[in-house]
A and B are shown apart, each in its own frame.
Chain A
Amino acid sequence: MFIEAKQINKVYFDKNNKPNTVLKDIDLSIKKGEFVSILGPSGCGKSTLLSMIAGLVSSTSGEIIVDGKKVVKPGKDRGMVFQQAALFPWMNVTENVMFPLRKEMSKKEGLERAQHFLKMVQLSNYPSHYPHELSGGMQQRVSIARSLAMDPAVLLMDEPFGALDEQTRSRLHGQLEEIWIDTKKTIVFVTHSISESIKLSDRIIVMGTRPGTILTDITVDIPRPREQHRQQIAALEEQIMGLLKTEIDKVIDEEQAYEAGS
Chain B
Amino acid sequence: MKPAVKRIIFFAALIVFWELGSRFELWHETILPSPVSVYDSLVAGFADMTLVYDLAASFRRLLIGLVAAVIIGTGVGILLARSKTADETLGTLVLALQSVPSIVWLPLAMMWFGLGEGSIIFVVILGGTFVMILNVRTGIKNVDPLFIKAARTMGSNGLDLFIKVIIPASVPYFVTGARLAWAFAWRALMAGELLSSGPGLGYTLRYASDFGNMSLVIGVMIIIGVVGAIVDLMIFQRIENNVLKRWGLET
Contact = CB atoms under 8 A, between A and B. Distances in A.
Interface of A: 54-56, 73-76, 78-80, 82, 84, 86, 88-90, 99-100, 103, 130-132, 146-147, 150, 156
Given A88-B147, A88-B165, A132 B248 contact: yes
A86 B146 CA distance: 6
B153 A56 contact: yes
A75 B151 CA distance: 10
A257 B247 CA distance: 43
A166 B208 CA distance: 71
A55 B149 CA distance: 10
Given A84-B146, A88-B165, A131-B248, A146 B152 contact: no
A146 B155 CA distance: 12
B150 A86 contact: yes
B152 A88 contact: no
A150 to B, nearest CB: 6
Contacts, number: 61
A130 B169 CA distance: 14
Contact of B247 (A78, A80, A89): A89
A13 B35 CA distance: 71
Contact of B246 (A55, A82, A86, A132): A132
A90 B155 contact: no
B245 interface: yes
Given A86-B147, A88-B165, A90-B168, A78 B248 contact: no
B248 A74 contact: no
Contact of A76 (B154, B165, B171, B246): B154
A97 to B, nearest CB: 10
Nearest to B243: A90
5 contacts: A56-B152, A74-B157, A90-B169, A100-B154, A146-B154
